[in-house]
Chain A
Amino acid sequence: MKHDILEANTLLQRRLGRRTLFRGVGMAGLGLTGAALLGCNGDDEGSPLEAARDRGYITIGFANEAPYGFADESGNVTGEAPEVARVILAELGVPDIQGVVVTFDSLIPGLQARRFDIIAAGMFINSNRCAEVLFSDPDYCIPQAFGVDAGNPFGVMNYQDVANSDATIGVLSGGVEDGYAQAAGIPDDRITRFSEAPALAEGLQARRVDVIAATSLSIRAQLDRLADPNLEMTAGFTPIVDGEPEYGCGGYGFRRDDQELRDAFNDVLVSMKQNNEIVPITEPFGFGETEISAATDVTADDLCEA
């Protein structure tokens, strides 16, 4: 800790090679020599893919939501989306990824504000988000589920049931679940929006809310983490919005002017889907054949129009 500012900056260069989250994230901000106080981020003009190849890494945004994208015990970014992205980017000649962790509702603004180049958080693709972000094709599809007290005292199996009860529901701020809940007619004063998935689950445990909603895998991951016998998850279900089933399929988000990066990324993703290369990468995170193959024939366009 006795480095002076300039040394800290070279230290930064050296450390960038590592994938440690704490450093990686801190690094995102370390572009600071005395004079740089007034300087800005130095947006790389031209192709972001070229720039990433030169730099040797690309930054991805994730929301610390297991199993999609999260920091492991030693602070490395991992999870379904970062690991698949890692393989795809290596294929594209970018050897490393740097994780930037933000709250879920900051993923899209963070991408737009150039805080990172790719959203790798298993984000669901839907028409609202397509207006803001370019998506790759999805690499998994998954049902929703609720986390509830053991025995499901409110007997809720879908959003309509919650609307008809007087249960309060917790969702992730900025998550699709918020929209599903509102569409089902759950009044705003019964919806609590949490910043992050772990706080959501702890909110259920602390009885701040009666029900929590997320994807089935996310609910399972959180309940496993808490290992609380007083909590359980409901069966998975597909929410109905305006009479239409809303399939939850997640992919990778890019800035709207990064079409080239998105296309290059997507080409590799599509060929990996065809060659069944996704399952082995995502299996450790609880994604099975079911979730991955459900996305085989689905494209981003299908979901954006829905």
Chain B
Amino acid sequence: MLSDNALWRPFLDGIWITLQVTFYGAALGTFMSVLSGLASMSSVRGVRWVSRVYVDFFRGTSAIVQLFWIFYALPLIGPSFSPMVAGAVTLGLNMGSYGSEVVRGAVQAVPRGQTEASIALNLSAMQRMQYVIFPQAAVSMLPPYGNLLIELLKASALVSLITLADITFVAQVLRVNGTASTLTLFSIALVLYFVIAQGIALVVRLAEARLSQGLEVGRGAGRRAA
């Protein structure tokens, strides 16, 4: 079935678009997760408030409505983003609103003693976060972060509604052309997403194994014993 040129060629192009949207979305989403997660723990009230509004706004509205708004309504009163930018920005900001909580939870779970020790060692707040707290928090962030990446991949199917020729879009166009049965086309699409999701999960698991190596004697080991 997949040896059929008219079928796999468009799907390959579609995979490429899906991967790109997911990648750019993930890059922005990761950045926003860390930024907003750290901001939510800031000692400055205004900073916490901005983070809260961002999280509530994106968690409170529907990604598809945001996407339609950015794509069709925003250009009437402001800038017109290309479909790829509109898609990546919407997906990234949404991911960030969920990732924010992940980052906050993980950072807060690092034992207080670590902070106290860093202060005793005279590390600056920046160094403390960069060298002590964050590396430890990152390990416990990874599994939920992996889930967010898979949610992002799934949400990327929405970009088919704003003219981007991703996997879902390709399946729809080929359906209309009658290139193959709807059963075949949508099954291919679902399997492709599934495979990509498994790939993401694998990478995250590898990263997890890698990151937790140096911490084996620390918190990880302690928790396992508990």
Contacts and interface: CB of A to CB of B under 8 A. Distances in A.
A70 B74 CA distance: 28
Contacts of A243: none
B28 A37 contact: yes
A231 interface: no
B21 to A, nearest CB: 8
Interface string A52-76: 0000000000001000001111110
Interface string A23-51: 10110111110001101110100000000
Most buried by A among B14, B71, B176: B176
B16 A1 contact: yes
A100 B75 CA distance: 17
Contact of A22 (B14, B86, B178, B179): B14
Contacts of A151: none
Given A64-B173, A72-B177, A28 B163 contact: yes
A21 interface: yes
Interface in B171-196: 173, 175-179
A53 to B, nearest CB: 22
Nearest to B159: A29
Interface stretch (B44-52, B76-84, B109-117, B132-140): B76-84
A196 B82 CA distance: 23
B164 interface: yes
B88 A32 contact: yes
Interface stretch (A110-118, A153-161, A246-254): A110-118
Interface in A247-266: none
Contacts of B159: 29
A28 B82 CA distance: 7
B54 interface: no
A39 B173 CA distance: 30
B17 interface: yes
B177 to A, nearest CB: 6
B87 interface: yes
A22 B85 CA distance: 18
Nearest to B83: A29
B6 interface: yes
A102 interface: yes
A42 to B, nearest CB: 9
A138 interface: no
Given A1-B16, A26-B164, A100-B163, A32 B84 contact: yes
A22 B163 contact: no
Contacts of A64: 173, 176
Q: 6 nearest interchain CB pairs?
A: A29-B84, A29-B83, A113-B75, A40-B79, A26-B165, A198-B176
Interface of A: 1, 8, 21-23, 25-26, 28-32, 36-37, 39-41, 43, 64, 70-75, 100-102, 106, 109-110, 112-115, 196, 198, 225
